[in-house]
Structure 1
Amino acid sequence: MRYIAFIHKEPDSVYGVSFPDLPGCISAGDTIDEAVQHAVEALSGHVRILEADGDPVPPPRDFDAIMSDPDLEEDRQGAMTTIVPLVRDRGSTARINVSFDLGLLDAIDAAAKARKQTRSAFLASAARREIVE
């Protein structure tokens, strides 16, 4: 799932991110990239709290629905829009079977070792980064 987010920037402030479909879910960052990275974490945490409390998770609306919603007119003023993926951390892992070229696998293992990570941790962080970008 992907949610539309508004990015605002006031003079002498950081970039703020809000989600029209998830009131109260906000994030910020010194740069747009940092704000969006933090927004991924905020979105995941917000949804996790909603689910833990037994509250429904609103489905994401499409861009046209967000842009035509009269209740969001003020929020849209001066805002940039972006799409933020919902990356759920479920707290458990699953063993999977994947295939890589042996040369790529060697490069993965070397990069993981240099970062003091396991192969799985390295691949998970690389996948998360790719999904967010």
Structure 2
Amino acid sequence: MQYPLYVHGDSRNGFRASFADLPLASARGASLDELRASAQGAVELQYDRSEQLIPGPTCSMSELQSLEMDDGHGIWMFVEINLLRVTSQAVSVEFSLSASLLHEVDASAKQRRLTRSAFFALAAAREVGDPRNG
């Protein structure tokens, strides 16, 4: 799956990046290739065999740019994350909501510093009483 990564760079330390949808993982690398490899490793380290939910990736650039992590000093890039190497996997779902409810969801997610996917995953886990929803 292609996950969005917000990347900062500097001449001394290479690149550092954070995932919009996977807040426990962050990546570093001297080059963009190293950063991509580091991203896969970071996801595996933080989420493999964990009780944390792994939401699907956010693909909306406007939603990503509205996040607080987008400070205007970095760039967004998408990296391939092989979730087959992580024991907890997300699946993609599609459903419809009224425009006004979706607007409220987006506002609430932004206030909580979550992506839309993470917001729905946490809300669903809470509703079904999932103990992984810490």
Identity %: 20
Provide TM-score, normalisation by structure 1.
0.54
Provide TM-score, normalisation by structure 2.
0.53
Q: More helix per residue: 1 or 2?
A: 1
**1:72 shift after superposition:** 2.9
Q: Distance in 2 between matches of 1:90 and 1:43?
A: 8
Q: Distance in 1 between matches of 2:78 and 2:70?
A: 18
Structure 2 partner of 1:67: 65
**1:47 shift after superposition:** 2.7
What is the one-letter code of the residue matched to 2:73? G
- Residues 2-81 of structure 1 aligned to structure 2 (within 5 Å): 2-48=2-48, 52-64=49-61, 65-69=63-67, 71-74=68-71, 77-81=72-76
What is the one-letter code of the residue matched to 1:41? G
Q: Distance in 1 between matches of 2:23 and 2:36?
A: 17
Q: How many residues align?
A: 85
**How far does the alpha carbon of each residue in 1:25-71 deviate from its partner, in whole angstroms, 9 at most, with x for none?**
111111111111211222233231xxx232211221113221233x3
> Which runs of 5 or more residues in structure 1 are unaligned?
92-133
What is the one-letter code of the residue matched to 1:81? W
Q: Distance in 2 between matches of 1:89 and 1:66?
A: 25
> Which runs of 5 or more residues in structure 2 are unaligned?
88-134
Say if 1:44 and 1:86, in contact at 8 Å, map to a contact too: no
What is the one-letter code of the residue matched to 2:58? R
Say if 2:6 and 2:70, in contact at 8 Å, map to a contact too: no
Say if 1:17 and 1:36, in contact at 8 Å, map to a contact too: no
Kindly name which structure, 1 or 2, has the bigger radius of gyration based on alpha carbons. 1
**1:79 shift after superposition:** 1.0
RMSD of Structure 2 on Structure 1 (CA) = 2.1
**Relative to 1, partners in 2 of residues 1:36 and 1:90: Cα closer, same or farther, differing over 3 Å?**
closer
What is the one-letter code of the residue matched to 1:68? S
**Relative to 1, partners in 2 of residues 1:66 and 1:55: Cα closer, same or farther, differing over 3 Å?**
same
SS at match of 1:42: helix
Say if 1:3 and 1:86, in contact at 8 Å, map to a contact too: yes
**1:90 shift after superposition:** 5.6
Q: Distance in 2 between matches of 1:55 and 1:24?
A: 9
